Amino acid sequence: MQKRGILLIGHGSRNKNSSDVLEKTAAIMEEKTQIPVQHCFLEFNHPDVKEGLDLLIQKADTISAVPMLLSSGTHTEKTIPELLDIKIGETKTIEKDGKIITLTYTGEPIGAEEALADILIRKTNFPA
């Protein structure tokens, strides 16, 4: 039976509060989906992407890597694919410690979403 998992990739920051947001988002996603969600960071914080993937492999064998970044750019199109050794839109099989893992990376950032607009409007304290 396949055990699914989500690798949530954030930028990282020297500001501790920034990393807390990614950790809390991963926990909320895990609670809502009942799928293991491992957060990781591109820079400044740990676990980094490779460490996060290794941690998630202990819990899942079918992994979807998703960036928690607002828009496409160098990190979604170059950095993450290089770190995961995967092309955007690709699904590949890797072997880690004798375990076969299926890894997918869509490269899709959060983007312009109605839910995001609603959150930002709410933060203005103006009625919608």
**pLDDT above 70 (res 128):** no
Strand order in the sheet with 62-67: 37-41, 4-10, 62-67, 99-105, 90-96
**pLDDT above 70 (res 1):** no
Backbone dihedral angles phi then psi of residue 13, each to the nearest 5 degrees:
-160, 155
Q: Which residue in 47, 62, 56, 55 sits closest to 103, CA to CA?
A: 62
Model confidence at 6, pLDDT cuts 50, 70, 90, reads very high
Share of the chain above pLDDT 70, in %: 98
Mean pLDDT computed over 62-66: 98
Pairing of strands 99-105, 90-96: antiparallel
Assigned CATH for 4-124: 3.40.50.1400
Model confidence at 125, pLDDT cuts 50, 70, 90, reads confident
| Residue of 127 and 123 predicted with greater confidence | 123
pLDDT in tens, 71-105: 999 999 999 999 999 999 999 999 998 999 999 99
What is d(CA 17, CA 75) in angstroms, rounded to the nearest whole number? 21
Catalytic machinery residues:
11
Would you list the DSSP string of 99-125?
A: EEEEEEE------S-HHHHHHHHHHHT
Model confidence at 126, pLDDT cuts 50, 70, 90, reads confident
Global pTM?
0.94
pLDDT in tens, 35-48: 999 999 999 999 99
What is d(CA 95, CA 18) in angstroms, rounded to the nearest whole number? 33
What is d(CA 46, CA 41) in angstroms, rounded to the nearest whole number? 6
- Contact by Cβ (8 Å): 56, 99: no
